[in-house]
Amino acid sequence: ESVIPAQKSSFRVVLLGDQGVGKSSISLRFLRDEFHEHNAPTIGAAYLTQTLKVGDRTVKLDLWDTAGQERFASLAPMYYRTAQGAIVVYDICCKSTFIRAKDWVKELKAQAPPGTIILLCGNKLDLATENREVMIEDALQMAKDKGLIFMEVSAKSGQGIKSTFQTIAEKVVARE
């Protein structure tokens, strides 16, 4: 009689980053394949869920969006202390949001459980040709220094969104 080890079937991932970088838009693109130009409507709860295929497994990804709560920095630890993954978002066209992303990574490294998968995510790639302020080399260097996964995405075009979530799910599953 073989014993099949219990596998965790759901993972918690938290979205962090400055207001306006596109956290809600990234969630909305991933969950509903929609984009709204002016303001991403609040999807409601800070907690959203989506299933993903990882190899032959179906895993549930519980996504915690801190949108609107950036001001309440003290709330953030509540989200990431129990997360297996964190997506730190910045706006490629706004350098100050990249500097803030560095702070988030520092905070995660100090406070999140060891081994939490951190993905650095530069959003608004569709605007980069004209308005890029954060060079890809700088982000790659930061990712290398801090041991992060790095992706550039556009919630508007959808570029990189699916693979961002797929990548983080695969890394989290691989850690088990």
Q: Residues interacting with ligand GDP, by CB under 6 A?
A: 17, 19-25, 36-40, 67, 123-124, 126-127, 154-156
Which of residues 68 and 147 has its CB atom nearest to ligand GDP in the complex?
Answer: 68
| C-alpha distances in Å from residue 67, one per residue of 22, 33, 46, 49, 171 | 9, 18, 8, 16, 24
In the complex with ligand GDP, the residue whose CB is nearer, 100 or 124, is 124
Q: Of the two residues 26 and 118, which places its CB atom closer to ligand GDP in the complex?
A: 26
Cβ closest to ligand GDP, residue 59 vs residue 134: 134
Closest contact distance (angstroms) between CB of 120 and ligand GDP is: 15
Classify residue 75 by its DSSP letter: G
Non-local (6+) Cβ contacts of 42 within 8 A are: 24, 67, 68
The answer to whether the CB of 146 falls within 8 A of the CB of 38 is no
Minimum CB distance to ligand GDP, residue 175 (Å): 27
Report how far apart the first and last C-alpha atoms of the chain are (Å, whole number): 24
Q: Which residue has the tokens 């299933």?
A: 51
Work out how close the CB of 111 gets to ligand GDP at its nearest, in angstroms, rounded to a whole number.
21
Least Å distance, CB 140 to ligand GDP, is 20
Find the Cα–Cα–Cα–Cα dihedral 85, 86, 87, 88, rounded to 10°. -160
For the CB of residue 75, give the shortest distance to ligand GDP in the complex, in Å. 15
Residue nearest ligand GDP, CB atom distance: 22
Distance CA 158, CA 140 (A): 21
Which residue lies nearer to ligand GDP by CB, 54 or 128?
Answer: 128
